[in-house]
Amino acid sequence: MRKFVGSISTNVVGSECEFEFEVEDNATEEEIEEAGKQAAFEYVDWGYNEELNKI
């Protein structure tokens, strides 16, 4: 297994977060990137709301 450390942050001071993830020894760059994204999203809550026109 290969071990990586990733990080995520926003434009808000103090929002930085590091995380670890592992991939198989023979993982491709695409597999490493996908594993990193999946690991990062374990730390992220997000959503959206539709803006309705109010008159």
Q: pLDDT (tens digit, 9 = 90+) per residue, 37-47?
A: 999 999 999 89
Q: Is residue 49 part of a domain?
A: no
Q: Which domain holds residue 22?
A: 2-41
pTM of the model: 0.76
AA identity, residue 12: V
How high is the pLDDT of residue 53? 83
Long-range contacts formed by 16-19: CB under 8 A, 24+ apart: 17/43, 19/43
Contact 21, 7 (CB under 8 A): no
Residues of the chain with pLDDT under 50: none
How high is the pLDDT of residue 7? 96
Q: Is residue 14 part of a domain?
A: yes
How many structural domains compose the chain? Answer: 1
Burial per residue of 33-43, b for 16 or more beta-carbon CB atoms within 10 angstroms, e otherwise: eebbeebeeee
How high is the pLDDT of residue 54? 74
Q: Is residue 48 part of a domain?
A: no
Q: Is residue 47 part of a domain?
A: no
